[in-house]
Structures are given as structure tokens and as C-alpha cells.
Structure 1
């Protein structure tokens, strides 16, 4: 009788221990950093990505979002991913140029005319080729999100013509193409991390900056900037990145979860960003910004002035990639 009780007690202890162990199996936590705040288009898309990862993995993988550059600037997070100290992030392709020179393709001024051209380029063979180059540097690119067409704001004067840029101290991303472009156009270009930008505008360390409407609105630049000029000078993508060290340790199924969730977040983010951009311009006007649109003649003058910069981009990214990009754009435009 005692023996039977003993066996039952042991069986109960084993079952209890097994259940406790099962409870102790924690989901795989993935730190995901981004630069804007939680209420931004970046924040909303990160939430969609996190929900999709949890759903597709049955709760075995969990995204832990860190917004408002709380894990550092784009450049700092990229280095953390390369070193394996952080798992994932989304950030500007422009800040990757120092790591992967082909990323400079997306900084080409006046490269695409509209969002449809941008989507086709980014999601097609050209975008895949550029993304693939990251793996040699310790990063894996999953998908491109939309930041949007970039426009100028400043506190000095309305920019109606090329000459109006003269002497404006303009914050640009830490990227040589942006530096060269705005210096060529006559501005005093100052490279600064995005996380330091609001403070620099507020203290008048810089006169202006350039970003899409959504970012100008969500970052409250209207509080410290008077003039907004619609230039659409560069279409700016974001890219969702994974540390290659982390990626290589994932199973095939786990990689598929992240990729499929990233694609869903991309589709959501692009639509959300475009819907918001249409409203953001009206909101910025309502908040007191003085808005003007650069005329086609002045945009053409800027484009002509940047011929040397574009030639430099072509040489830097490689002529094969440059010609493939131009051929795809020509094909897209011929279909109209």
C-alpha cells in the first residue's frame, strides 16, 4: 500500500515539475528599435508587426518595441545589430550608406516621380539586390517601409527659388549624398542624428531641416519652424533590419514568421503613411506653418544643379545597378 502511495506521489511530483517547466518556457523576446514616437506611422506599423509576429508564432516569439530613439540613433542601432547586442530595428536607408554603399541609390534627388514607381523599384529586382548587399556587413534587410517624399522647412525665409537656400543652416542626415546635395544647392548642410534635431531647431543651432509631412507633424517641428516648402526632392524609404548574428540562429520557421509579419507591416505602413500624409499637410497649415510649393521650373533648376551629385551616386553604387534602375523606371513610365 505504501509503495502504491509512493509511486503516486512521485508521479504527481514529476507532473507538477513538468507543468512548472512548461510555464517557465518564455517566448523569444526580440528588441525592435525605431526613431519616432509611438503615435507616429513608425510606431503604428511596429505595433502591427509585433501583433503579427505573436500571432504567426503562436506566442513563441514576441517583439518588444523601443520607440523615440530610446535604444539610440539609427547609426547606433545599426552597430548594435551588427555586433549582436540588439535584434531588430527600422530606420532610414540613408544612414546605411556608410555600411553598404549601394544604399545611396535611394538618396538620388528626384529619382522617382510618385509612390507607385517607388514601390515597384523597392519591391522588385533592384530593391532586392540592394538589400542583399547588407548581409556581407552583418545585417539582414526584410522589407522597405515608406518614410515618404522629403520637403524643406526652415525659420529664415520661404524657399521659392534655388537662391533662397543660400546660407540656410540645414540639418541633414549623416550621409554624404545629402551633405553634397544641399551644399551644391547653396545651403549650409549640417549632419545631425534625428534624435537631436528638435532641440537643435529650438535652440536655433540649425535654421531648418527636410523630412516628409508625417514626420514634420508627429515630431512637432511646426512648433519651431515657420516655413514649409513642398519640394518632393527625395523619396525616402525606411528598412526593417535584423541582426545577421541573430538571424542565423533562427529556425526556418522562425525566419518565415518574421518575414511574413514584416510584409504585412509593410503593406499596412505604406497605406497608413500615405493616408496620413494627405491630412498632415492640412494640419501643418492649420498649425500656422507658411506653405509654398516649388514651381516645376525651379525644381528643374535644382535637378540640373545636382547633375554632378547624381553622376557621383551612379559611380558609387555601380554603373550596372544604376543602369538597371534607370531601365526599370523607363519601363514603368512607358506603361502609362
Structure 2
């Protein structure tokens, strides 16, 4: 079992390690050591240290050592923490434009999401973060959520009719399930296994690694790769900390961050492939290559309800038009 430092001990360790560096930047992540996002920032740190000949160091604190996502985002805004890795979903109340990225079936596939985030739209989103004292350095891959259940393969929207599907307590998710003809059943994640096993619900939705690590594949063997939700992750830096760096070091940090996104995305793809291999070996049936268009068409009332402003509607159109 890995020993987790307390916040105080972690900060003391950072001070000790950073003694040889002219600038030491502390970066927070709630995921455990070894997780793709953590390793992505570590790759960034390694490149920055090498290219600045040890002048600029990034110390990565995984496992919520510096606090949970919401808390560390606020600390990063105020410059108490220098950098944070977090999901777009956590920024919804801080940077409103991120709410659009919680809409179902917004992206056609993972490559489409990467093309959007690495292009002009990603730059535009970054500008919105700067208004909240945050500098976006990189967009990471948080995976795609898909449906799985204990009853039957979901090959079409008709196969979802009447199913009871566990979702997180979120109005968008509840309305998505209603639009698909299923019954949304919000419940704590820890209760899902037994709820499927006892027939309280028919299934749930998540990504491959979660489907695997939770053991849900044991009780819900039908996994349909519909990828209804892809919420980007990002690495953001405190504007206060950013402004302390020289233009040259800022450029090094930006380039290292962009390179780290390639590393992180590959690590995530590897994790998904490993999880898929394990669940298939255990008897899970993977349904892929479905026609997503009927699912997308069914989302019209969801988009009418949540993409209400002209700005959000325009953003949705531009995202869908991105090649």
C-alpha cells in the first residue's frame, strides 16, 4: 500500500525537493499515483526540468493530498497552489462555457474530441479560463462513458426502452435517459454492483476502466460502446504563478504541456485497452459499431433545455462542424 503524505508533510517534502530549483511549482491531482493524468503531468515536469536545466521544477501531488478538485481549483485561482488537473465538469460554476461539454453525444468519437480541444475552440475556451485567473496548459482525455447492463445487448435505441439505468445525480443525465426511453436511477456508485445483482436496476454507464475495476462486468455483461459522454480534463495554472515566469519559461511550459497531452492520451488509451481485454476474458460482450444517429437525434429536447443561449448553440454547431 502506498503511503500517502498528509498535506503538511507533502508541502514540507516539496520544499525540500525544490531547494535545488529556482522555481518550484506545485501541481495537484485527485487521482492516485500512476493514473494517466498524474503520469501526464509528471511527463510535463520531466521535460520542463530538462529544458530549463533544473531551474524550473514541478512537484506533482496525487491522491488529493492538497485537497479535492473544487478546493484545489480555488486555491489555484488565488495562487496558493500553482497548478491543478481537473475535469471540465468541476469548472461548470466557474467557467460557464464548460457546461456545454456535459451535453450527451456532443463528440462523434475520441479523435473528434481531441481535434476540437487542440484547435481554435480549445484556444477560445482557454481565454475564458484566463478571465477566472487560470491559464490552460493542456487538455487531457478523461475517457468516454458508455452503457452496460445485465439484460441484453444494446444494439439500437429500442433496446434501451424501459431499462432502469443508474446515473449520477445530474439533471442532464436524468433527462438524457428519459429521452432515450429508459428510466434514470440516481444512486451512490458504491451501491451499483449489488443493485444490478439483485435486479433493482438493469445497468449503469461508465468507461472501460471503471467498468472493469468496479467489478460491474461480473453482473452486467453487456457493454455497448455508444460513448454518450466525453468530458475533457485539463491542466490549468494559476495566473499569478504564470506571470512570475519569464516569457521563455512560459513557452517551455506550454510546449511541455502540449507534449504531455500526447503522453496522457496514449496512457489512457492503453488503460482502456487493458480493461477491455480483462472484461472480455471474464465473459463481457462488447457491442460496438452501432448507428449513433438515432441516439443523437433523441437528444433534441435535452439540447433545447440546456443549450439555451445563442453562444452555447453556436458552440455546439462549431464543435459538430469540426473535422
1:111 alignment counterpart: 106
* Residue 77 of structure 1 pairs with residue 72 of structure 2: yes
Per the TM alignment, residue 270 of structure 1 is displaced from its structure 2 partner at its CA by 2.0
Per the TM alignment, residue 26 of structure 1 is displaced from its structure 2 partner at its CA by 4.3
SS state of the match for residue 232, structure 1? Answer: strand
Distance in 2, matches of 1:84 and 1:176, equals 33
1:215–1:249 Cα change, 3 Å: farther
Q: Which structure 1 segments of 5+ residues have no match?
A: 1-22
1:8 alignment counterpart: none
Per the TM alignment, residue 307 of structure 1 is displaced from its structure 2 partner at its CA by 0.7
Which aligned pairs between 1:196-207 and structure 2 lie closer than 5 A?
197=189, 199-201=190-192
Distance in 1, matches of 2:19 and 2:183, equals 58
Determine if contact 2:193/2:216 at 8 Å carries over to the other structure.
no
Per the TM alignment, residue 242 of structure 1 is displaced from its structure 2 partner at its CA by 1.1
Per the TM alignment, residue 260 of structure 1 is displaced from its structure 2 partner at its CA by 1.5
Determine if contact 1:145/1:240 at 8 Å carries over to the other structure.
yes
- CA offset digits 1:29-69 (Å, max 9, x no partner): 32222233223322322221221122122222222222233
Determine if contact 1:146/1:238 at 8 Å carries over to the other structure.
yes
1:101 alignment counterpart: 96
Give the counterpart of 1:262 among 232, 244, 257. Answer: 257
- CA offset digits 1:240-282 (Å, max 9, x no partner): 1112232233332332232111111012122332344334312
1:4 alignment counterpart: none
2:317 alignment counterpart: 323
Q: Which structure 2 segments of 5+ residues have no match?
A: 1-17
Distance in 1, matches of 2:279 and 2:257, equals 30
Distance in 2, matches of 1:83 and 1:168, equals 43
Determine if contact 2:109/2:227 at 8 Å carries over to the other structure.
no
1:170 alignment counterpart: 166
Q: TM-score, normalised by structure 1?
A: 0.74
Per the TM alignment, residue 27 of structure 1 is displaced from its structure 2 partner at its CA by 4.2
SS state of the match for residue 113, structure 1? Answer: coil
Per the TM alignment, residue 136 of structure 1 is displaced from its structure 2 partner at its CA by 1.4
Residues 51-60 or 145-154, more deviating: 145-154
1:62 alignment counterpart: 57
Determine if contact 1:95/1:175 at 8 Å carries over to the other structure.
no
SS state of the match for residue 234, structure 1? Answer: strand
Determine if contact 1:84/1:243 at 8 Å carries over to the other structure.
yes
- CA offset digits 1:175-215 (Å, max 9, x no partner): 654454345444435487xxxx4x45467599665333245
Of Structure 1 and Structure 2, the greater helix share is in 1
**Equivalent residues, number:** 297
1:6 alignment counterpart: none
Distance in 1, matches of 2:231 and 2:158, equals 21
1:188 alignment counterpart: 184
* Residue 226 of structure 1 pairs with residue 195 of structure 2: no
Determine if contact 1:226/1:288 at 8 Å carries over to the other structure.
no
1:29–1:255 Cα change, 3 Å: same
1:284 alignment counterpart: 279
2:10 alignment counterpart: none
Per the TM alignment, residue 224 of structure 1 is displaced from its structure 2 partner at its CA by 7.6
Q: TM-score, normalised by structure 2?
A: 0.76
SS state of the match for residue 107, structure 2? Answer: coil
1:310 alignment counterpart: 303
Determine if contact 1:107/1:236 at 8 Å carries over to the other structure.
yes
1:147 alignment counterpart: 142
- CA offset digits 1:88-136 (Å, max 9, x no partner): 1222112222221211332332223233322221111111112211111
Determine if contact 2:27/2:58 at 8 Å carries over to the other structure.
yes
1:302–1:140 Cα change, 3 Å: same
1:28–1:223 Cα change, 3 Å: farther
